Structure 1
């Protein structure tokens, strides 16, 4: 009897103890679930005040064993326009001055937070989003007020102010604090606080937009940037609790500087498409001879090139005899493309493609239209000995027997082989799409640098539509004050 009674007592005690722990855990989880729902409702109501027409609102959080507090210095957000003018010299020409050049914080401010805390778990409202945080883990429960769709970033920064705390069954009172401030665009603010510089205006171009969030909930912000936006998380700094997302802006349009060995031209954010009105729409430039041959091109052999891994393209001007302007001389255009490091290639030649003309001073020039109505027609063929950079005759490689253009929206699915012809406009657009969205155009002068003067030459026009880029940036500051009753 004593043994049986002992077993019963031990069993009963164990059931009560384990059951109590289980009940406590269940009750705590239920409390946290209710807190999540309450904070989601708070998120919705706060947005009506911060971003809507309401001046104030009230919300009961219901009874809870945890505590609520307002932390007005919790977290910061900074938006930096990196290299905002693409770099420029005294004459306004684009140059790359290296990291840190012309970087400007177009917005920087605190976020603040409303935090519910129960044991080692926090549920927080910050930046217009709700986050659940425990230890080294943060999970996004609802997204922040950060909208990146197509080429537009809309970022209404919600700033929380207040310093109160409460427990039990508090009621939160949310009031608008101040007027909404338009931070970008802003016609009254100039870059570098210099009236000679451009204002904060759309469309945003050149450089990149870098969004940096410092927060206890930075892992949740990283999850959002990585999965919900087209930007890429470029850095997560655990030591400083920051996440940085880079959002590229569309590259320079219109006139551009002819690239040199030390100053390539960056095509940034190109949309890879062959549809009308999409992708690369214009690419034209004018080349001029070296100063000691101003009225003619001596042994012209000059190219624009691009390379990305095993992909390479070269667009070469050559084939001139005397090359003197006004005599009816024409330069050939050769287009070379390889996607296997040069083992095989696709080659095209447009003979007598562009005339050598004289300007008003009698100086020679060649106006080249690669993408546009003035582009010539080329024939698919072997191009050994016709290039300045990737010469198959010197570096090996063989002409691919055929190629089919079926890679991009708008491609016709046409198959080309030796003797086939096609407009250079189609060829250059198609091949450069393989390097999208961002790549560098460089130059190569096969005649020991003696045929073209890049400094006197000019990029006449480049136009292209963007993909996964920021073209329009809308940033506003919206304050709310939170107190408890």
Structure 2
């Protein structure tokens, strides 16, 4: 008997082979199976339908995902092909531009030849050379143009001798442009792309359109090499300006000025003899009136020999383009005074060295001038720090460039000194702070034992109530401020042994600096005039002391506010050559290449 077969069981019951109890069980089991049989069959059908539906859904999703992957892979392959094609354009354009061949051809992929185009209006380059007196010897703007490949949101382009990629909000360089800088020589073979290639055929042809133009040097315009006492500015306007900026930074080891609103980047190269030194306690290239009064002392020392108490001397200079008043009993300029305007020395005050002036002269009292008096005046021309500060700020506020994450005492999420502390220390590196404000008894140590420190302060630099910023080690600290400077109420910003060449604070020409209330500053405050601004307005007052030098518009020193010029600054350049590129030779040519398909 097959116990699983209800019909077989029923036959046994009919034969009388089973007991009554067994008969009843078998009949009930058979009845149950008859009743449930159709339902089980229906469930099996539903299961098959669901399984088939799930299979269709999974298969459809797989096909869709696979299709997207195939499309993505195809776009990637096409973009890679485009990079190769435009790299060939780069090589062929150089041959044509340099005169090695009158024309060159490049085969385009048949599948996406219509994605290539030429845009003669895509970007330009401007080269300016401003000499030491502020005159423009050169100001030439040349088109760049571009050969482009577009695929959805990605664009690949040949421009300026380089290949660039733009996708979304980002740009990157694929191959470098034809701009070379090495050992003080800048070479700019500018290739301007012109033509009407716009998805026509399977071959792109590059043709020379006349001889190359030599822009600089140019004997007919008296533009010669080597350059003397000037600055060269190279500005690129381009959709790929951010990638251009990174290229400039990598090649010149200097910061550049980025203008997002105009999609421009500017590189500045300083002629090597135009990297000046600080020539006196006060150097003001613009401004009206300087008052040295109320017993103030302007003198000198030499930190390369010893500290101020050991080497105090009378070898300073005060140089200003405006007028000067030296007044008040005991007020002394212990050195020379050069003024482009009027000079007044009142009774009780004295200039111990020579006096040169360009306006009216008023001398009162006994022996107000210890040296010679003449009308021979020469005021130096100094470069503003405004552009450099902007460039440093734009560079170092980038988290991938600064060392904020590596500094235990900086909160990188807020770009500020970490809360809950009263002392902080920064080692060699490059840092960005939104503000730097020290309160009563707080201390910041800048340790240069392992190298130099660059610090951008994007807002206030303020030291209150007995707070300290101290430089340690033998390296140089460059501070770039985008706001005012205040050293107040017994606060100190110092270097041991008054070694001023180790600390440089660069300031905007429209800002203000105050050293007051027994405050002490050791270093250089540098912020000469720029455009309509006379220079950073500086006041030294209320028994404050500055050891080093000030370059800007000094309004006045008073109330025993003293400035002690560090003679060691005569051997130190204003711009740190580790970060500011210099130039002696400039070569600029321009060649137009026509593109057709």
TM-score (norm 1): 0.55
- Rounded to whole Å, the distance in 2 between the matches of 1:205 and 1:147 is 20
- Rounded to whole Å, the distance in 1 between the matches of 2:497 and 2:110 is 72
1:139-178 matched pairs, under 5 angstroms: 139-166=172-199, 170-178=202-210
Q: Give 1:237 deviation, angstroms.
A: 2.1
- Rounded to whole Å, the distance in 1 between the matches of 2:137 and 2:594 is 29
Q: Is the 8 A contact 1:343 1:396 kept in 2?
A: no
- Rounded to whole Å, the distance in 1 between the matches of 2:269 and 2:110 is 43
Q: Give 1:238 deviation, angstroms.
A: 2.1
1:483 — aligned with what? 596
Q: Which one has more relative contact order, counting CA pairs under 8 Å at least 6 apart?
A: 1
Q: Is the 8 A contact 2:156 2:164 kept in 1?
A: yes
Moved more, 222-231 or 131-140: 222-231
- Rounded to whole Å, the distance in 2 between the matches of 1:14 and 1:34 is 30
1:22 — aligned with what? 69
Q: 1:32 aligns with which of 79, 85, 92?
A: 79
1:243 — aligned with what? 265
Partner SS for 1:125:
strand
Q: Is the 8 A contact 2:204 2:596 kept in 1?
A: yes
Relative to 1, partners in 2 of residues 1:13 and 1:396: Cα closer, same or farther, differing over 3 Å? closer
1:206 — aligned with what? 229
- Rounded to whole Å, the distance in 2 between the matches of 1:8 and 1:258 is 86
Partner SS for 1:204:
coil
Q: Is the 8 A contact 2:117 2:149 kept in 1?
A: yes
Q: Give 1:123 deviation, angstroms.
A: 0.8
Q: Is the 8 A contact 1:148 1:230 kept in 2?
A: no
Moved more, 11-20 or 43-52: 43-52
Q: 1:183 aligns with which of 204, 210, 215?
A: 215
Deviations 1:206-242 (A, max 9, x none): 33211111112212212212223334212x2222221
Deviations 1:148-202 (A, max 9, x none): 11201000110111022116x721111111101110110112xxxxxxxxx2111
2:140 — aligned with what? 107
Higher helix share: 2
1:69-468 matched pairs, under 5 angstroms: 69-82=117-130, 84-87=131-134, 102-103=135-136, 105-166=138-199, 170-189=202-221, 199-234=222-257, 236-251=258-273, 261-263=283-285, 301-302=334-335, 344-345=496-497, 432=570, 434-437=572-575, 468=581
Partner SS for 1:212:
strand
- Rounded to whole Å, the distance in 2 between the matches of 1:324 and 1:61 is 79
Relative to 1, partners in 2 of residues 1:42 and 1:343: Cα closer, same or farther, differing over 3 Å? closer
1:68 — aligned with what? 116
- Rounded to whole Å, the distance in 1 between the matches of 2:251 and 2:191 is 19
Q: Is the 8 A contact 1:150 1:468 kept in 2?
A: no
Deviations 1:299-355 (A, max 9, x none): 9931699xxxxxxxxxx997xxx9899xxxxxxxxxxxx9785674369xxxxxxxx
Q: Give 1:433 deviation, angstroms.
A: 5.1
Deviations 1:416-442 (A, max 9, x none): xxxxxxxxxxx97x7555545369xxx
Partner SS for 1:166:
coil
Are residues 1:474 and 2:587 paired?
Answer: yes
Higher strand share: 1
CA-based RMSD: 4.3
Deviations 1:95-146 (A, max 9, x none): xxxxxxx345532111111111111211100000000112321111011111
Q: Is the 8 A contact 2:127 2:139 kept in 1?
A: yes
- Rounded to whole Å, the distance in 2 between the matches of 1:233 and 1:243 is 7
2:103 — aligned with what? 56
Partner SS for 1:188:
helix
Partner SS for 1:154:
strand
The runs of 5 or more residues in structure 1 that have no matched partner are 88-101, 190-198, 265-284, 288-298, 306-315, 326-337, 348-393, 399-426, 440-465
The runs of 5 or more residues in structure 2 that have no matched partner are 1-47, 287-315, 319-331, 339-350, 354-368, 373-469, 472-491, 500-542, 548-565
TM-score (norm 2): 0.45
